[in-house]
Structure 1
Amino acid sequence: MSNRKKWSFHIPLQPEFKMKTAYYIEKREFDQKRNKYYLYYQFKCDSISNSMMVIPDGCIDILFTCVPQAPYGKVCGSVLRSKEIQLVPGAEYFGVRLPAGRESLNLNCSMKDIVECEIPIKDLLLLDDPAHQLANIPSFEGRIQRFQETIGTIFLNEKSYSSVVRNALYSIHLSRGNITMNDLAQKSGFSTRYIRKKFEQDIGISPKLFSQIVRFQCSLSMFMNDKNYSIWDIIEESGYYDQAHLINEYKKFSYYSPRQLMDTITKGKAWVM
């Protein structure tokens, strides 16, 4: 299999899932049948907190509340600015993170209808909520297997992206979000207008905005890396013009400067800006 066919979507960070829960586990798996990577994860809320901050990641999550008395499933599109989501204190959650777009999720709706929305599964499928199939399974691995064998056969799409969108996604991820519309047009041979139209149809947002989210996520990963990159390392590696550009883009997506966001996520982890 060529590298182009085997490339995987970035595994973006949702830091508060890991850092503000009683526990968090995840497993990344490649689906041979659909030629796509998925991230399976599970966490348990502490007994007090009932909210969690989510940040833009350019993905779709299927999230299940695994409370046997009241199981609940919903599809969550990527947010475009950070927001608080409401959770059940003490509840266990099981999730599947998918690459954004209609070629990942088998739904008869516009991808623009998914962005920034939380939609109950039963409303999308017009079926009983399948969350009860997972709620009574005690193990993470067991839930992954049950999802793949039952719920995933309904939700996960076996189709592939159109070539223009697939190539655009490949170029965006390869460049860590540092690519212009003119570069995408030159690489593909299609006009910027055509690429933008197809991308918005399949992904739900523009390629420019998606690229910015990828760059934001890649730089955030560097901030949280144990290697302690300096601010100037991150600016250079991530393709920001200067410190002001980085700060403005962070405020665009999270309302916070990098320092403020890191303090919020890590409860005061120190780093020098």
Structure 2
Amino acid sequence: MEYHDAKPSTALQTHIHSFWELKGDDTDQQWERIFPDGCPGIIVNLGAPCKTDNGQSTMDYGKTYVVGAMTSFKDTFIDRHTHLLGVCLKPAAFSSFYNYASQHELTDHTFEFDLSYSLDAEKIKADSNTYLNRYFLDRKKSSHQPMQPILNDIHLSNGNLSISEIARRNFTTVRQLERLFKIQIGLTPKEYVKIIRFQLALSMMSDVRKKSLSDIAFECGFYDHAHLANEVKLHTGLTPSQL
């Protein structure tokens, strides 16, 4: 399997993490597991039909799909005919490019995008980075991101703030915060905070200078080793030792 990603132009980096491309090869015939990171995405299929959403959805050649934020893992089948190109948007950035559904309607699902929003597969094949940068620069409605201070608080604390404290810091109520997350991100504040904490633990578990699970649990704000193991199982379907 061949995978590579690229940063978007500087003007898009506040809204887009990366453009990525995945191609299967002759050795591939397996389900690949993706873990939740709080981000929505756009995918165009440049290859054969591709099963995703744990086999519940199929992405067809030339079509564009919108992928909602995930609360748990997702499996996609990769073989030698697979060729996908994607855009990893930053949390709450979707509405800066599209007037589309509230994000909670997309959570944990992959939907075929409306034709008017679809990416041009032929232009992508010719020069994907140039085309994608121009496409999203043309669609970008505003640089203003009202949720950014909230997300900054969560990320700077590594997900170790209570929801009431996040609301207090940002001069809002818990109910208003929950509504904002539902519309803009598709997750509850609690789900998002848990994902950020899980992602930190995951990065520490994959570090070559591995610490004990108890140390990782303590540093990431989990109650104990068992709490960490339960969160890993929830988000990956695997035990820490299987990662």
TM interval, shorter chain, is 0.7 to 0.9
Normalised by the length of structure 2, the TM-score is: 0.83
Instruction: Give distance in 1, aligned partners of 2:118 and 2:181.
Output: 32
Instruction: Give distance in 2, aligned partners of 1:100 and 1:114.
Output: 13
Summarize the alignment of residues 225-244 of structure 1 with structure 2, pairs less than 5 Å apart.
225-244=207-226
Instruction: Give distance in 1, aligned partners of 2:9 and 2:217.
Output: 32
Residue 237 (structure 1) shift? 2.0
The aligned counterpart of 2:120 is 130
Residue 116 (structure 1) shift? 1.0
Residue 233 (structure 1) shift? 2.9
Instruction: Give distance in 2, aligned partners of 1:104 and 1:226.
Output: 38
Amino acid paired to 1:77: G
Amino acid paired to 2:129: I
Instruction: Give distance in 1, aligned partners of 2:89 and 2:119.
Output: 19
Residue 186 (structure 1) shift? 2.4
Please state whether the residue corresponding to 2:197 is helix, strand or coil.
helix
Residue 159 (structure 1) shift? 4.9
Whether the 8 Å contact between 1:107 and 1:155 is mirrored in structure 2 is: no
Kindly provide the CA deviation profile for residues 230-267 of structure 1, in whole angstroms up to 9, marking residues without a partner as x. Answer: 2233112211110111011112222222112x1xxxxx
Summarize the Cα distance change of 1:71–1:211 in structure 2 as closer, same or farther, 3 Å threshold: same
The aligned counterpart of 2:52 is none
The aligned counterpart of 2:159 is 177
Instruction: Give distance in 2, aligned partners of 1:127 and 1:182.
Output: 37
The aligned counterpart of 2:20 is 41
* Of 112, 115, 119, the match for 2:104: 112
Amino acid paired to 1:59: C
* Of 181, 187, 197, the match for 1:215: 197
Whether the 8 Å contact between 1:63 and 1:93 is mirrored in structure 2 is: yes
Residue 218 (structure 1) shift? 1.3
Summarize the alignment of residues 245-264 of structure 1 with structure 2, pairs less than 5 Å apart.
245-260=227-242, 262=243
Counting aligned pairs with the same residue, the percent is 23
The aligned counterpart of 1:52 is 32
Whether the 8 Å contact between 1:177 and 1:212 is mirrored in structure 2 is: yes
Unaligned stretches of 5+ residues in structure 2: 49-59
Whether the 8 Å contact between 2:42 and 2:86 is mirrored in structure 1 is: yes
Instruction: Give distance in 2, aligned partners of 1:192 and 1:61.
Output: 27
Instruction: Give distance in 2, aligned partners of 1:128 and 1:41.
Output: 17
Normalised by the length of structure 1, the TM-score is: 0.75
Instruction: Give distance in 1, aligned partners of 2:63 and 2:162.
Output: 41
Equivalent residues, number: 230
Residue 191 (structure 1) shift? 1.7
Kindly provide the CA deviation profile for residues 193-248 of structure 1, in whole angstroms up to 9, marking residues without a partner as x. Answer: 22222222221111111010111111111111222232233112211110111011
Kindly provide the CA deviation profile for residues 69-107 of structure 1, in whole angstroms up to 9, marking residues without a partner as x. Answer: 943321111221112123453333221101133434413
The aligned counterpart of 1:161 is 145
Higher relative contact order (CA 8 A, sep 6+): 2
Summarize the alignment of residues 23-102 of structure 1 with structure 2, pairs less than 5 Å apart.
23-29=2-8, 31-32=10-11, 35-47=14-26, 48-49=28-29, 51-67=31-47, 70-87=61-78, 89-101=80-92, 102=94
Instruction: Give distance in 2, aligned partners of 1:63 and 1:184.
Output: 32
Amino acid paired to 1:158: S
Instruction: Give distance in 2, aligned partners of 1:60 and 1:105.
Output: 12
Please state whether the residue corresponding to 1:67 is helix, strand or coil.
coil
Residue 34 (structure 1) shift? 7.3
Kindly provide the CA deviation profile for residues 125-183 of structure 1, in whole angstroms up to 9, marking residues without a partner as x. Answer: 4466522321x33xxxx311111113x24655535332xx3221111111111111121
Whether the 8 Å contact between 2:39 and 2:68 is mirrored in structure 1 is: yes
